[in-house]
Amino acid sequence: MKRREFITLLGGAAAWPLTARAQQPAMPVIGFLVPGTRSAYRQWIAAFVQRLRELSWIEGRTIAIEYRWAEGRSERFREIAAELVALKVNAIVTSSGAVLAAKEATSTIPIVFAAAADPVGSGMVASLARPGGNVTGLSVQYVDLAGKRLELLREVVPNLRRLAILANVAAPGPVLEMREAKAAAGTLGLNVATLEIQRAEDIAPAFDRLKDQAEALYVASDPLVFTNWVRINTFVLGARLPTIHGLREYVEGGGLMSYGTNFPDLYRRAADLVDKILKGAKPVDVPVEQPTKFDFTINLTTAKVLGLEIPPTLLARADEVIE
């Protein structure tokens, strides 16, 4: 073989693996727009990633995830959504008010919401059975459970007459929940004071305005509130207010009670929806799912600090009692 022919053959052989590698399908990329902080959403995202792994989508090996953290600042949702769209991700996973920002940013990239308070009423989807467009996910039924939460609170504070409701009025979900909680409070004959916030800096002034106007506090769940739950619980304990929440994580951090959807379970199921979409399903053909797992959690340590006696019948119904 002539020297020139040998070099040509060798060059072709060296280039062949690179060419073959370039022809391999690119690893799917999920854009994860997290409305809160890394620490606040840690358990939920871990549940999502673990379920993906069970479905053979292993982060860093068979799938890539681009995380973006809004840290409870709703004004960042659109910016982050646009960034993920520019990356041309295969799907966007998000929750709460960030879903609408993602929907505004793209009408073609599939969007899966892991948790949304009222996906139909807020305009995320056309209906639960036929979402339409490029969006599907899981509802959390925050609004539907407001009355149940107040009933539980009344069992601990039977003489309750004055209730405060804390809500981020810059987001549609907590506004709807606050409205439902006020309606439920009205049927129970309670006087209601509202603590309306739109950013973290509004929390302290809201509690200053509250002073002695309430005997208990209903907290409407929201990424802003969840990101600042330590600060909120500090004010709550300082005011010696029994609280009812929609997430057990608040109770782990010192809140009195919570009743609501199990969020790790929602995020696991969101991974199932992502799996379907990566395998070719279209969001328009994937119905929005309802929660199936709910948690009732009581913090006995907080009850003792507040000087409250939790009825034994209520303790027996709790899924978890923190001591």
**Residue type present at position 299:** N
B/e letters for 255-284, b = 16+ CB within 10 Å, e = fewer, are bbbbbbbbbbbbbbbbbbbbbbbbeeeebb
Domain with CATH 3.40.50.2300 in the chain: 29-141+262-293, 143-261+295-322
**pLDDT tens per residue, range 247-270:** 998 998 899 999 999 999 999 999
- Tokens found for residue 246: 């929609």
Cα–Cα distance for residue pair 194/146, rounded to 1 Å? 15
Mean pLDDT, residues 303-308 taken together: 95
| pLDDT band, very low/low/confident/very high, at 17 (cuts 50, 70, 90) | very low
Specify whether the CB–CB gap between 126 and 164 falls below 8 A: no
Query: 């799938």: which residue's tokens?
Result: 63
Is the model's pLDDT at 22 over the cut of 60?
no
The pLDDT of 293-297, averaged and rounded, is 95
pLDDT tier for residue 108 given thresholds of 50, 70 and 90:
very high
Collapsing DSSP states into helix, strand and coil, what is residue 94?
A: strand
Q: Which CATH architecture has domain 29-141+262-293?
A: 3-Layer(aba) Sandwich (3.40)
Kindly state the average pLDDT of the residues 80-100. Answer: 96
pTM for this model (two decimals): 0.85
How remote is the C-alpha of 132 from its chain's centroid?
22
**Is it the case that residue 71 has pLDDT exceeding 50?**
yes
Say which CATH topology domain 143-261+295-322 has: Rossmann fold (3.40.50)
Per cent of the chain over pLDDT 70 is: 92
| pLDDT score for 209 | 87
